[in-house]
Amino acid sequence: MKKEYWYILIIYITMQLSTFLGVPALTFGGVLIGYSIEEMAVYAVVIWIVFSFSVALLATLFLLRKEMKQPSLDRETASVSASIVWAIAGVFLALFAQGLAANIESWLGIDMGSENTQQILSLIESFPVVVIVSSVIGPILEEIVFRKIIFGSLYKRLNFFLSAIISSVIFALAHAEIEHLLLYSAMGFTFAFLYIKTKRIIVPIIAHVAMNTFVVLVQSVFKEDIERMLREAESIQRFIGGLFL
């Protein structure tokens, strides 16, 4: 593995662990200048998330600057038009994989709904700036770390299936929701397929960004409209059902 990749892994892990020091430090600093600890506790989380993710992304892109400048000479790399098609199709593949995994989890008796997602949506409702992290910065970092570096390194030694399974499970475990291991692994496997199909990391990045954005829009911005439509559909269904009784 390239030394730059090791540096990126260290940066990513440090970013994830930095919350345990950064948030308390910001909270304490805010209290010192007059904010209440309750106010500062929330502000500190938002500020640190945006700051740490942004710094990690900038550092990662800096380390990959030489690779990004080099033109691809791999004949197997998908064309631009094919990559666009796969990026769009990838959104639907990821949503399908997520839905299928969610149904299997439900069948196994696992409660539907991700605690991580609900916490992020709660933050977005109060601080819309967080959507930049959840829908853009986060997916870019995850695709670089879990697909380009981890999956890519495994694929040099193993076949696609094993490489995708191992990297996807690591991706799932990184989300710290062991009960939704299948859900996150299914998404990770889909993004690994998109990467190997096109040989372009930008394809799973676009699909991941689009999927996260779609989930945020559905569960926050359009949540009330969707709930109203479901209630209306249910009322119509009851009315039609009553006509045949």
| Residues forming the active site | 142, 175
Q: What percent of the chain has pLDDT over 70?
A: 82
Mean pLDDT, the chain, integer:
81
What tokens does 49 get? 């998330």
Q: Which of 118, 162, 171 is nearest to 12 (CA)?
A: 171
b/e code 182-220 from CB counts within 10 Å (16+ = b): bbbbbbbbbbbbbbbbbebbebbbbbbbbbbbebbeebb
Whole-prediction pTM value?
0.82
Q: What are the contacts of 88-92 at 24+ separation with CB within 8 A?
A: 90/190, 90/191, 90/194, 90/203, 90/204, 90/206, 90/207, 91/207, 91/210, 91/211, 91/214
Q: Which of 67-71, 136-140, 212-216 has the highest mean pLDDT?
A: 136-140
Q: Which of 50, 58, 64, 62 is nearest to 22 (CA)?
A: 50
Q: Is the confidence at residue 226, as pLDDT, over 60?
A: no
Q: Is the confidence at residue 20, as pLDDT, over 70?
A: yes
What tokens does 199 get? 């040989």
Q: Is the confidence at residue 32, as pLDDT, over 80?
A: no
Q: What percent of the chain has pLDDT over 90?
A: 37
Name the band, by pLDDT with cuts 50, 70 and 90, for residue 164.
very high
Q: What pLDDT is attached to residue 139?
A: 93
Q: What angle do CA 135, 136, 138 make, to 5 degrees?
A: 85
Q: Which of 11-25, 30-44, 74-88, 183-197 has the highest mean pLDDT?
A: 183-197
